[in-house]
Amino acid sequence: MYAPICLFTYNRLNETQKTLESLASNYLAAESELIVFSDGAKYPSEENKVEAVRDYVKSLSGFKSIRVVEAETNRGLANSIISGVTEVLDEYGKIIVLEDDLISAPNFLNFMNQALEYYENDQQIFSISGYTLGLPSLAEYSKDYYLIHRPSSWGWAIWKDRWEKVDWGMEDYPKFKYNIFKQVKFMRGGSDLPLMLWRQMNGRLDSWAIRWTYHQYKQDLYSLCTTKNKIINIGAGEDATHTKRIKKRYENSLEDVGKTSFHFDKSVKPDKKLLKEFRKKHSFYNRLVDKLRLFYFIGFIIMFI
């Protein structure tokens, strides 16, 4: 049985349509169950947009089955994902998760399901990612996947026995924030992580993903990432709740080959060169370059206003 696909939507009809059109074009779509969690409107002015998304989803076909779970009130993305994923995992034991602004390659579900099956009993693998950064060494990398210290929230999969161990309340954070050695180790997945976690714990960020990432670090686990990118994000813009602009370091093209069978090996270890390139993508320097690009773009626009 293939893992159920769990899609989280809100009020963006255009992005949701594109996300579901690409998902329905996946080779395994007709054999997969789709569960859509639709969050309630945060403001009265958004109610019509939310209803438009729900009406569209209810008109869908192309999947083995479609279930729509409609929230009566606005729960927010973090609460919606934590509760929705927990609910589906309690029923199925494994899950593939998408948000409403992700275009998937036709073989996305093939990769995710095969990886879920192969590593089901390998407790060192925390999650599966269908998205990959454009790391230079991947151009010549022969394997279908590599291991990383940081999970991705753009098209991912997980098992119940990993998910249920996450401490969403972050009970041990007070000890972590004063331990420089632990913070340095956390930065194996990127130097931006400690600050993101601090913002979360101080009410300046509402993220389930940084808490999820912190759990992987604490347990010293790996996430398995596809070598050929199977996800692109189309959600940046003024209507987006969390992503106003896709940062340059996250840009990557979608895989254009139709491979449907993938090779995995439990003996493969993390590639040090790829880990270094991954960490560099999230370095202070690259984050600064992204900000400078944004300021330059804003300044260029202002010149013509």
Question: φ, ψ for residue 30 (rounded to 5)?
Answer: -65, -15
* Residue-by-residue DSSP string for 196-209: HHHHHHTTS---SH
DSSP state of 237: S
Q: Which of 144, 77, 149 is nearest to 112 (CA)?
A: 144
Distances (CA, A) of 275 to 144, 189, 194, 223: 16, 8, 18, 12
Written as one letter, the residue type at 147 is L
| pTM of the full structure | 0.90
Written as one letter, the residue type at 100 is D
What is the number of structural domains in the chain? 1
- According to the model, what pLDDT value does residue 226 have? 97
Per the structure, the complete domain to which residue 20 belongs is given by 5-303
- According to the model, what pLDDT value does residue 106 have? 97
- According to the model, what pLDDT value does residue 245 have? 53
CATH number at residue 247: 3.90.550.10
- According to the model, what pLDDT value does residue 88 have? 98
Cα 214–chain centre separation = 15
Tens-binned pLDDT, residue by residue, of the chain (305 aa) = 899 999 999 999 999 999 999 999 999 999 999 999 999 999 999 999 999 999 999 999 999 999 999 999 999 999 999 999 999 999 999 999 999 999 999 999 999 999 999 999 999 999 999 999 999 999 999 999 999 999 999 999 999 999 999 999 999 999 999 999 999 999 999 999 999 999 999 999 999 999 999 999 999 999 999 999 999 999 865 554 544 455 777 888 998 877 999 999 988 899 999 999 999 998 765 545 555 444 444 444 444 45
What are 219's two structure tokens? 């347990």
